[in-house]
Structure 1
């Protein structure tokens, strides 16, 4: 992706996340990006193309965030919960524009079958990365558990954005789900003495 294209998509995310879908125009994106008028329309001929591009960029940004928070080391359930909690806290706080942009697109998708298809494709793209991660935590049904985890994360984010609380602690909630979907270590039975 070219730097200018990335700059335009990040500006579009900023518009969606701070002003809403109705304000998403090529002209507004150009202004937020600090580029000459016509730049966004040169890269994204239609509004639908711009929204589609934003969808892909959101997946990239969220994957980058997971990578940064999770680090390169293999994650155990505790480190995963801590990393997921930090990611959710960031996406509900300093990164809230990214989350709100994503929800604006999801709202639009409810009325647009093409966007629904694109969202499904992007979910599969994320699943290719996330399902093995959940499997590595010990899940016996990694695909199903990965989807449960995404649903939980979306619910936590939505509730915190709609009704913020100072006691927001998503890592504890993630730990609770992980304890239900990953095996617990068993203590070996004591040997019988004769």
Structure 2
């Protein structure tokens, strides 16, 4: 893995575990056992680090979602959500911390808001823009609920089936 990705992943872990205020170039250098100044060589500012975090989460989300291509919408979505909640919980915690932090600029927050789910993909799946927005909202809500109160495979599937049934898609 290249050094930029390593630094972005370390930044995700710091934000997820300690919050944005704890994110410093020095902390990243130390956590990765890099020579001092390495993180700032690749990402000059904290804003650039946040951009790298956003790009990394988005890139990982797109790659993971495509792993489930060809499955029916309920199976595809529930398996994707399960993978997000289990394998990528640090990314989720970092994403949510950045989404609500007023010091993060609006463009970064917009990028983070679109990093897990694609409105266009949901519109394609649902065949309707409004239903696509609703589907993304459902998935976002399931992620928040999963992070805060927990989840089971059955609870994910039940919510997805209920939405798709109401939308006439299942």
Shorter chain as denominator, the TM-score bin is 0.7 to 0.9
Q: Displacement, 1:117?
A: 4.8
Deviation above 6 Å: which 4+ runs of structure 1?
A: none
Q: Does 1:176 align with 2:162?
A: yes
Q: Does 1:96 align with 2:95?
A: no
Partner of 2:138: 152
Q: Displacement, 1:52?
A: 1.4
**Structure 2 residue ranges without an equivalent (≥5):** none
Q: Displacement, 1:26?
A: 1.2
Kindly provide the CA deviation profile for residues 2-48 of structure 1, in whole angstroms up to 9, marking residues without a partner as x.
81111111111121222221211112222333422212111111101
* In structure 2, C-alpha distance between the alignment counterparts of 1:183 and 1:29, rounded to whole Å: 46
Partner of 1:10: 9
Q: Displacement, 1:92?
A: 2.2
Q: How many residues align?
A: 169
Q: Displacement, 1:101?
A: 1.0
Q: 2:148 aligns with which of 134, 138, 162?
A: 162
* In structure 1, C-alpha distance between the alignment counterparts of 2:152 and 2:109, rounded to whole Å: 34
Partner of 1:190: none
**Higher Cα radius of gyration:** 1
Q: Given the two structures, how large is their TM-score scaled by the length of structure 1?
A: 0.74
Out of 53-62 and 87-96, give the one that drifted further: 87-96
* In structure 2, C-alpha distance between the alignment counterparts of 1:167 and 1:65, rounded to whole Å: 18
Q: Displacement, 1:128?
A: 4.4
Q: Displacement, 1:86?
A: 1.9
* In structure 2, C-alpha distance between the alignment counterparts of 1:33 and 1:64, rounded to whole Å: 25
* In structure 1, C-alpha distance between the alignment counterparts of 2:7 and 2:91, rounded to whole Å: 14
Partner of 2:80: 87
Q: Given the two structures, how large is their TM-score scaled by the length of structure 2?
A: 0.83
What value does the CA root-mean-square deviation take over the aligned residues? 2.6
